[in-house]
Structure 1
Amino acid sequence: MSMMAIRAATPRDRDAIRLVEEHAFGQRSEAGLVDAIVAQGGAVVELVAVEDGQVVGHILFSRLYIEDDTGEFPAVALAPLAVEPSFHGTGIGGALVREAHIRLKTAGERLSVVLGDPAYYGRFGYSHARAAGFESEYQGEALQALAWDEAPEAGRLVYAPAFGSELAA
């Protein structure tokens, strides 16, 4: 019986990550977003799930800033989270989120933002109520946040430059 392992992504994983993203989303947009964030140096935590030597899951947290009258507050954006379709429902996505959260908290991160399914991300403590005060073109029920420590509750969300071109596509 094989064991799934979670580890930091490496440059050798780039092609496998691209395939997982394309298979999970059925398009190339998310894979392009990942490539752009990594190339621009915006990745904060990037993990892969490996089963029998094959990358079957991927998660990326990039730098995000909350801007207000007092300046910029560093936070992170979870995007994207992808699991090979044949591995859906096996707990890989949840394991990636939990491990990434441990690493982020250990590194001193205080706030994470995600744009996704509230029922799914709510399991990990994300809520729209925590993100409702942020100004964002993505404001709505799918915009959620999770704070591990004191962090702003209002301000304008400024994503990594790669999001401007990829999310608009």
Structure 2
Amino acid sequence: MQLHIRPETSNDYNAVFDLVEDAFKNEAKSDHQEQFLVERLRKSAAFMPQLSLVAEADGQLVGYILLTKIKIVNDKATAFEALALAPVAVLQRYQGKGIGAALIQAAHLEAQALDYKAIVLLGHADYYPKFGYRKASEYGIRLPFDVPDENCMVIELATGALQGVTGTVEYPAAFFE
């Protein structure tokens, strides 16, 4: 299987909607609304087209990842610009073939090229650490809602980027609509 990762275009929107819906339909810890989140985020100021990537194989879209702008705000209202990873999705019949990993690595490279220093996510505690993600609580970073500590993670895209950064993640309103 030959995999090609590229920025999403508006021509991909319908296929991405179906792909994300398929990827999460059997996920127990999902509200099964991720495809609608993607649509809302595309319309928000937090959206950057170069951080919305698709993976193609066998003549179709098989994977998708989206990074959007967020802030980590401390108790003195100082904000640190970062990114949120949500979602990463792979068609069910293509899962377990390294497509999600390839998308995550490509997204990290693109984020670094845009000079972003960190990415925050809410995800599977046993999947993301292999890419360098660590518990956000280790940095004094928390999400604005109650979720298990092991599922709140962050990665530094530059060594020491989160030194002295603490606070609460401030998501775009599109995450909560």
- TM-score normalised to structure 1 length: 0.90
In the TM superposition, what whole-angstrom CA distance separates every residue of 1:105-161 from its partner, at most 9, and x where no partner exists? 111000100100121100100011565512321452100000123235311110111
Secondary structure of the structure 1 residue equivalent to 2:133: coil
Amino acid at match of 1:160: P
Partner of residue 175 from structure 2, selected from 159, 163, 168: 163
Aligned partners of 2:146, 2:70: CA distance in 1, in Å? 14
Q: Do 1:56 and 1:83's aligned partners in 2 also have CA atoms closer than 8 Å?
A: yes
**Count of residue pairs the alignment pairs up:** 164
- 2:44 is aligned to 40
Judged with a 3 Å threshold, the aligned counterparts in structure 2 of structure 1 residues 129 and 40 are, in CA distance, closer, same or farther, namely closer
Aligned partners of 1:10, 1:50: CA distance in 2, in Å? 13
- 1:63 is aligned to 69
- Aligned residue runs from structure 1 range 51-130, under 5 A: 51-68=57-74, 69=76, 71-128=78-135
Aligned partners of 1:72, 1:89: CA distance in 2, in Å? 37
Amino acid at match of 1:163: F
In the TM superposition, what whole-angstrom CA distance separates every residue of 1:37-90 from its partner, at most 9, and x where no partner exists? 001132231100011321110000011101121521110000000000000111
Aligned Cα root-mean-square deviation (Å): 1.7
Judged with a 3 Å threshold, the aligned counterparts in structure 2 of structure 1 residues 74 and 87 are, in CA distance, closer, same or farther, namely same
Secondary structure of the structure 2 residue equivalent to 1:141: helix
Secondary structure of the structure 2 residue equivalent to 1:118: coil
Aligned partners of 2:18, 2:157: CA distance in 1, in Å? 32
1:49 and 2:55 aligned: yes
Secondary structure of the structure 1 residue equivalent to 2:71: strand
- TM-score normalised to structure 2 length: 0.86
Q: Do 1:78 and 1:112's aligned partners in 2 also have CA atoms closer than 8 Å?
A: yes
Q: Do 1:130 and 1:153's aligned partners in 2 also have CA atoms closer than 8 Å?
A: no
Which stretches of structure 1, 4 residues or longer, exceed 3 Å deviation after superposition?
129-132
Structure 2 regions of 5+ residues with no counterpart? Answer: 26-30
Partner of residue 141 from structure 2, selected from 109, 115, 134: 134
Mean Cα deviation higher: 20-29 or 50-59: 20-29
Q: Do 1:46 and 1:59's aligned partners in 2 also have CA atoms closer than 8 Å?
A: yes
Q: Do 2:55 and 2:63's aligned partners in 1 also have CA atoms closer than 8 Å?
A: yes
Structure 1 regions of 5+ residues with no counterpart? Answer: none
1:18 and 2:17 aligned: yes
Secondary structure of the structure 1 residue equivalent to 2:126: helix
Amino acid at match of 2:58: D
